[in-house]
Amino acid sequence: MTNSDIDDFKITFFHKFKSLEWDYLESLPDAKKKLLSRDDQLENYNPCHILEYGEIFATLCDLKPCTLLAHYVMHEYATGLVEKALKPLFDEYELKKEGFELWKLKPPVTELYRGGWIFANKKHEQYSLVKQVFTTTSLSINKIDIGRALGYPLPYGKYTIEYIDDTESKERNTCCVPILEYNVGAASEENFTIILLHLDEYAKLWKKIDRNLTIDLSAHPLMEKWFMDIKNGQKK
**pLDDT by residue (tens digit) across 126-144?**
999 999 999 998 878 888 9
pLDDT above 60: residue 236: no
178 shares a domain with 116: no
Give me the domain span that covers residue 166: 152-236
User: Could you tell me which of 9, 73, 57 has the C-alpha nearest to residue 177?
Assistant: 57
Give the total number of structural domains in the chain.
2
For residues 184 and 155, what is the distance between their CA atoms, to the nearest angstrom? 6
125 shares a domain with 48: yes
User: Could you tell me which of 14, 22, 109 has the C-alpha nearest to residue 55?
Assistant: 14
164 shares a domain with 101: no
**pLDDT by residue (tens digit) across 70-106?**
999 999 999 999 999 999 999 999 999 999 999 999 9
Mean pLDDT of 113-131: 98
Task: Return the exposure string of 66-99: e unless at least 16 CB atoms fall within 10 Å of the residue's CB, then b.
Answer: bbbbbbeebeebbebbbeebbbebbeebebeeee
CB 102 within 8 A of CB 86: yes
209 shares a domain with 141: no
Q: Residue 2: what pLDDT?
A: 44
Q: Which of 145, 161, 193 is the last residue of a domain?
A: 145
- The percent of residues in the chain predicted with pLDDT above 90, rounded, is 86
Q: Which of 105, 121, 145 is the last residue of a domain?
A: 145
For residues 226 and 41, what is the distance between their CA atoms, to the nearest angstrom? 36
Looking at the chain, how many residues does it have?
236
Q: Residue 235: what pLDDT?
A: 61
